[in-house]
Amino acid sequence: MALENRNTPSILRVEYLQVVGFIAEKLKNLEVKWFITGSLNHAIHGIDISPNDIDILSDKHGVYLIEKEFQRYVIKKVAYSASENLRSYYGMLCISGINIDIMAEIENRLIAGIWEPHIDWEQYIEQIKIGKYLVPVLSLEYEHTIYKKLNNPDRMRKILERLDQK
């Protein structure tokens, strides 16, 4: 299903949308599954939030294809990375001064200390029209379940407020 985005807050800088268009154009002919998540996804869905980067998720094969396609923009090569609450294959691009985190096989550490992988994300991808591109994004409903598991009440509240407006 393609959604027309008419409610993007003015706080979202046009440069983000231009970079998303550039990414969508370069990836449209690759055999790669990808989507936008995080604060930019929330802003695209109309949540009043100011993103400071772009988060792109894919599978392990896809994240390396994305890195290869954008090799001139790589500032951190994809490698397995782990922090206290997150582990994944992770790399970073910088396009037009905007950092793009590219990740695969994400696992979040829940409050109980259990690592939970994101294994069923593909069924929660929506297509949103941004300019002339259909851009894959994660549904807000699924984002809400993730933030609930991570016990992030502020982000949960913002997502629920937006979902209630639909």
Interval 33-48: pLDDT, tens: 999 999 999 999 888 8
More confident residue, 13 or 138: 138
pLDDT at 57: 95
Structure tokens at 45: 């869905």
Of residues 1 and 24, which shows the higher confidence score? 24
Closest among 141, 140, 86 to 118, alpha carbons compared: 86
The pTM score is 0.86
Q: Tens of pLDDT along 79-112? A: 999 999 889 999 999 999 999 999 999 998 887 8
Q: Is the pLDDT of residue 157 over 90?
A: no
Instruction: Give the model's confidence band at 11: pLDDT under 50 very low, under 70 low, under 90 confident, else very high.
Output: low
What's the CA gap between 70 and 82, in Å, rounded? 23
Q: What is the pLDDT of residues 45-78, one digit of tens each?
A: 888 888 999 999 999 999 999 999 999 999 999 9
Tokens 């970073």, residue located: 92
For the stretch 28-61, what's the b/e string if a residue is b when 16 or more beta carbons lie within 10 angstroms of its beta carbon?
eeeebbbbbbbbbbbbbbbbebebebbbbbbbee
Q: Which domains does the chain have, with CATH numbers?
A: 2-140 (3.30.460.40)
